[in-house]
Structure 1
Amino acid sequence: MPLFKTLQKIIYQLFISLPVGLAIQFTFTFLTQSIVDVGVNNRDIQFIYLILIAQLVLFVSQTLVNIFRDWVMLHINGRFQIKVVSDFLFKMLKLTVSFFDIRNKGEHLQRITDHKRIQSFVSSQDIYEK
């Protein structure tokens, strides 16, 4: 599809942000485990503070990655929806009036519904959810 070729750089950024977000989420479990295993067992309050600060930094980083990912998806979805609608309208305007006389109104409404379904599938947040 030519649309995805124009968005190739943005899509690469999206796919890079996915493993970064997963790595940050994965790191949280080890930091929590080290708080209990090392900090609490040795009663080392400085170590606990250090790990809590690291978790705070990771939380902020994960939030920024999620904001970036959502922004990229919003950008891709907006461009995709505009392209789909404009292509559909362009094709409809190229048709002759006799085409619309032969067909039912329901067929045209079904095409519009199909486009809405395609847009909802592409813009679905489940594609990249954590």
Structure 2
Amino acid sequence: MVRNLLTECGVSKYFWPEVINWSVHILNRSLTFFVKNMTPEEAWSGRKPTVDHFRIFGCIAYAHIPDKKRSKLDDKGEKCIFLGVSDQSKAYKLYNHITKKIILLVVMLFSMKKDFVYIYKISDILMI
């Protein structure tokens, strides 16, 4: 599952620990043959887990930039890569490829498209 996520999502092998964490998170909330009619998370904690927070690993997520950290004409969000959920809180883990840092955010906008970076050529831009 980890190797498949790394190749399909197109993220660097540097993020293999995050891929393992997300894989375990998914498997603990999926039905198995060992526990009848329950997920491993439900058998452990006694309550049904939610999957509302599931997103495609490696998809584009736009992290909100607070008003105090930007000027009037700056972008309101930064393009990041989704790396899963935090172990300590209900925040999402995002990788900012510009600052090379992993950030934790609660609210952001997701784009479930597979491609992350597209480099425009002069021929791709329409001149009107």
With structure 2 as the length reference, what TM-score do the two structures score?
0.29
> Structure 1 or 2: larger strand share?
2
Higher RCO, Cα 8 Å, sep 6+? 1
CA radius of gyration, larger in: 1
